[in-house]
Structure 1
Amino acid sequence: MSIINHQISVSIDGRRLFAFKSFELKQSLNTHHSFELVIDIETGANRYVHDLKDSAAWLGKPLTVHVSPSGKPTFLGVITGVSLHRRNSDYGHILVKGRSA
């Protein structure tokens, strides 16, 4: 399915993230799919994003990706890692990793 002209939404534990930098899904044969979600640490409008302490509570929680216009879940995963990354003097980002459910 081509998703170039479709809107993608990501939810963690049922709460939609209204902003994220990137989402990468790696699909392999004979193993679980894996994903990496990069969230800007300065996403001030969403209180569930900017605090790493709150984000660490995401471990083991479900991640759902929806691609419009169908509205049906396109990918279901489980979060296995949350980490903070910074380069030089930027504000950094939160890297969320996981596998298919």
Structure 2
Amino acid sequence: MPIFFLLATISTSLALIFASLSTSVIISRRRRRRRSVGFFHPYTNDGGGGERVLWCAVRAVQEEDPDLEVSVFTGDDATPESLSSRALDRFGVQLLRPPMES
């Protein structure tokens, strides 16, 4: 009987230690994870009114939370830098930084 009690105590202690370590690893990973937001616009190079709304929304998100990564998912073949320069040239919207490559 005392051996059973000892084994149960040891196994419970090991389970608690394992659970504690697992929880701290998960919390640590979540703190290091970059937060991001994505916009989908299939034709960012068309130059219509919808594109201006897109770039104004991207700029607003960047101003609201500078640490938030912003991605623009598009069907166009464009780099983040070309999208950013087009937003400025075509619509006068200066982004804080180019969107992430998606």
TM-score normalized with structure 2 length: 0.27
Higher fraction of strand: 1
Structure 1 or 2, whichever has the larger Rg, is 2
Higher fraction of helix: 2
TM-score normalized with structure 1 length: 0.27
